[in-house]
Amino acid sequence: MYARRLHRYTKIETEEEIEYDFDSIYPVRLSLYLEPPLLEISMDEFEQCAFDRMQILTALQNSQIRSLSPEQLEKTMTEAFEKHMTMTQSTPDAPVSQEVLANERLKDHISHYILRLAYCRSPELRAWFLKAECALFKYRFDRESLEDQIAFLEHQSLFWRRVSDEDKRLLHDKLLECYIGAKFHDEVADGGPEDDSKDEGEAEERAGRVDGSETSEVRDHNPRKEQARKRGGSDAQGTADSERDQDEDHTEDDGEDEDAEEDESKSGSRSDKKKKAKNKRLERQADDDENEGLFDFDDDDEDDDNGESKVNIDDVIFFEVDFERAHGLVGRRAVYVKDGKAYVPMAEQVTMVLEMFRDRLSDSLEACALALPGMDEDDRLVPVLDNINDQYLGKDYTTTSITGELHAEDVNGLTFHMPPCMDQLHTELRNAQHLRHGGRMQYGLFLKGIGLPLEQALLFWQKAFGKHTAEQFNKEYAYNIRHSYGMEGKRTDYTPYSCKGIIMGSTPGPGDHHGCPFRHWPAAKLRDSLSARGLDDFDKEDVMQFVQGHHYQLACTRYFEVTRAMKMGILTETLQGGLVEGGKSRVASQETIEHPNQFFEQSYLLFRKPSKTQAKGGSAGDMEVDEEEVKAPLVRGGYTYKKTPQSSDFVPTHPQQQQQQQQQQDPNVEGAIDLDEDDDDDV
Rule CB under 8 A: which of 384-443 touch other proteins?
434, 436-437, 441
Q: Which string of x and - marks every residue 574-613 that binds other proteins (by CB under 8 A)?
A: ----------------------------------------
**Of the candidate residues 44, 295, 413, 653, the single one contacting other proteins (CB under 8 A):** 295
Chain residues 192-211 in contact with other proteins, contact rule CB under 8 A: 192-193, 195-197, 199-202, 204
The residue type found at 683 is V
Distance CA 138, CA 282 (A): 40
Distance CA 55, CA 45 (A): 15
- Least distance in Å: CB of 183 to other proteins? 9
Does 297 bind other proteins (CB under 8 A)? Our answer is yes
- Least distance in Å: CB of 297 to other proteins? 5
- List, as own/partner pairs, every contact residues 78-81 make where C-beta atoms lie below 8 angstroms and the sequence separation is at least 24, other chains included: 80/55, 80/56, 81/56
**Of the candidate residues 188, 375, 571, 651, the single one contacting other proteins (CB under 8 A):** 188
Report the residue number, 193 or 583, with the smaller CB distance to other proteins: 193
Does 177 bind other proteins (CB under 8 A)? Our answer is yes
Chain residues 524-553 in contact with other proteins, contact rule CB under 8 A: 525
Report the residue number, 99 or 289, with the smaller CB distance to other proteins: 289
Chain residues 236-275 in contact with other proteins, contact rule CB under 8 A: 275
Helix (H, G, I), strand (E, B) or coil at 626: coil
Chain residues 451-510 in contact with other proteins, contact rule CB under 8 A: 475-477, 479-480, 483-484, 488-491, 494, 506-510
Angle at which helix 437-449 crosses helix 596-613, to 10 degrees, equals 50
Q: Find the helix or strand (DSSP H, E) in which 599 lies.
A: helix 596-613
Q: Which string of x and - marks every residue 131-170 that binds other proteins (by CB under 8 A)?
A: ----------------------------------------
**Of the candidate residues 142, 243, 289, 678, the single one contacting other proteins (CB under 8 A):** 289
Report the residue number, 104 or 259, with the smaller CB distance to other proteins: 259
Q: Which string of x and - marks every residue 510-529 that binds other proteins (by CB under 8 A)?
A: xxxx-x----xxx--x----
Distance CA 208, CA 67 (A): 12
581 strand-pairing partners: 584
Distance CA 565, CA 571 (A): 7
Does 312 bind other proteins (CB under 8 A)? Our answer is no
Does 349 bind other proteins (CB under 8 A)? Our answer is no
- Least distance in Å: CB of 480 to other proteins? 6
HEC readout, 234-254: CCCCCCHHHHHHHHHHHHHHH
Q: List the alpha helices (DSSP H) in 87-222.
A: 98-119, 123-143, 146-155, 165-190, 200-206
Q: Give the chain's length.
A: 683
Count of helix runs (H) and strand runs (E) in the chain: 32, 6
322 strand-pairing partners: 341
**Of the candidate residues 36, 181, 453, 505, the single one contacting other proteins (CB under 8 A):** 181
Report the residue number, 455 or 476, with the smaller CB distance to other proteins: 476
The residue type found at 146 is L
Report the residue number, 37 or 439, with the smaller CB distance to other proteins: 439
The residue type found at 609 is K
